[in-house]
Amino acid sequence: MQYLLYMELAVNCLLALFLGAILGFDLDAKQRPVGMKAMALFCLGASILTFVSLKLAPHVPTGPVIAYIILGMSVIGAAVVIKTPHLLQGLSKAAWLWISGLIGILIGCGLPIAALAGTCFALFAMIVAMASLRYEQPTLQHALHIEVLKLSTLEKIEALLQKLDLQIDKKSIVKGDHIYLELAYTTTPSTQYLLTKRLHRLKGLGEILKL
């Protein structure tokens, strides 16, 4: 009997890691702090706690355990929202953590079909949202003239440009008393807003002019 319980726990752990990794794959591909590893571990932890309360500690009421798991998910989600510079991105990351934790609870309760269905619906919602953003937001041309006071800041700008969804049309660097970076690129309004906001937060920059 104990052997079967441990086998079931092992299968649940593997399924939780797999589904959590699938949910976090898109975030990890975009090099965001909350990615595949965090989502997989979040799902695994919720699954183990739920399974232990149900099968290995039947004298412990399951309801309060699940309530505490949800409370922990809420605290972590709130921390993610607070630490993320862009509010909408923080809410999106917190929502994905919530989904991952709930999928883990379903697996721990012995409902793998429901967990698979929940994962499929979450991925479908993500695909629809991404497709709607691409169709709704037109791409526009922009140009910036950036005064760079420190060479290390130029490297940070390069890293930022690689992370964001930008089509660089022209980029030139002029060196003198200071370094001047001129950019011509095409992107959506939301990405343009995010770029300018992050540029203004970088230390070691002078004037940022829109051309």
Distance of CA 103 to CAs 28, 67, 112, 158, Å? Answer: 19, 15, 9, 37
Which residues have CB under 8 Å from 75's CB, separation 6+? none
* Last-in-domain residue among 100, 135, 170: 135
Considering the domain architecture, whether residues 29 and 126 belong to the same structural domain is answered as yes
- What's the pLDDT at 86? 66
Considering the domain architecture, whether residues 173 and 112 belong to the same structural domain is answered as no
Distance of CA 168 to CAs 30, 72, 90, 131, Å? Answer: 18, 42, 27, 22
Which of left, alpha, beta for 105 (phi over 0: left; psi -120 to 50: alpha)? alpha
Residue-by-residue pLDDT tens, the chain, 211 positions: 677 888 888 898 999 999 988 888 765 445 455 567 888 888 999 998 888 888 776 676 777 888 888 888 888 888 877 877 666 677 777 888 888 889 999 998 889 999 999 999 988 888 887 766 666 567 788 888 888 888 788 888 888 888 777 888 888 888 777 788 888 888 877 788 888 888 887 887 888 878 7
Considering the domain architecture, whether residues 90 and 157 belong to the same structural domain is answered as no
Considering the domain architecture, whether residues 127 and 147 belong to the same structural domain is answered as no
Considering the domain architecture, whether residues 159 and 101 belong to the same structural domain is answered as no
Nearest to 24 by CA among 12, 13, 40: 40
- What's the pLDDT at 31? 47
Q: What is the DSSP string of 103-127?
A: HHHHHHTT-HHHHHHHHHHHHHHHH
Considering the domain architecture, whether residues 23 and 119 belong to the same structural domain is answered as yes
Considering the domain architecture, whether residues 145 and 46 belong to the same structural domain is answered as no
d(CA 67, CA 72): 9
* Last-in-domain residue among 115, 135, 155: 135
* Last-in-domain residue among 94, 116, 135: 135
Considering the domain architecture, whether residues 59 and 6 belong to the same structural domain is answered as yes
Give the structural domain span for 9: 2-135
Structure tokens belonging to residue 136: 């709704």
- Pairing of the two strands 140-148 and 179-187: antiparallel
CATH number of the domain within which 188 lies = 3.30.70.260
- What's the pLDDT at 27? 59
Considering the domain architecture, whether residues 74 and 30 belong to the same structural domain is answered as yes
* Dihedral in degrees, nearest 10, Cα atoms 192, 129, 21, 75: 80
Considering the domain architecture, whether residues 35 and 116 belong to the same structural domain is answered as yes
- What's the pLDDT at 107? 92
- What's the pLDDT at 134? 60
The domain total for the chain is: 2
Structure tokens belonging to residue 7: 């086998």
Check: pTM over 0.85? Answer yes or no: no
- What's the pLDDT at 106? 92
Map 30-61 to HEC letters.
Answer: CCCCCCHHHHHHHHHHHHHHHHHHHHHCCCCC
Considering the domain architecture, whether residues 94 and 144 belong to the same structural domain is answered as no
What backbone phi and psi angles, to 5 degrees, belong to 175?
A: -105, 135
d(CA 174, CA 186): 21
Considering the domain architecture, whether residues 127 and 200 belong to the same structural domain is answered as no
Nearest to 18 by CA among 119, 117, 108, 128: 119
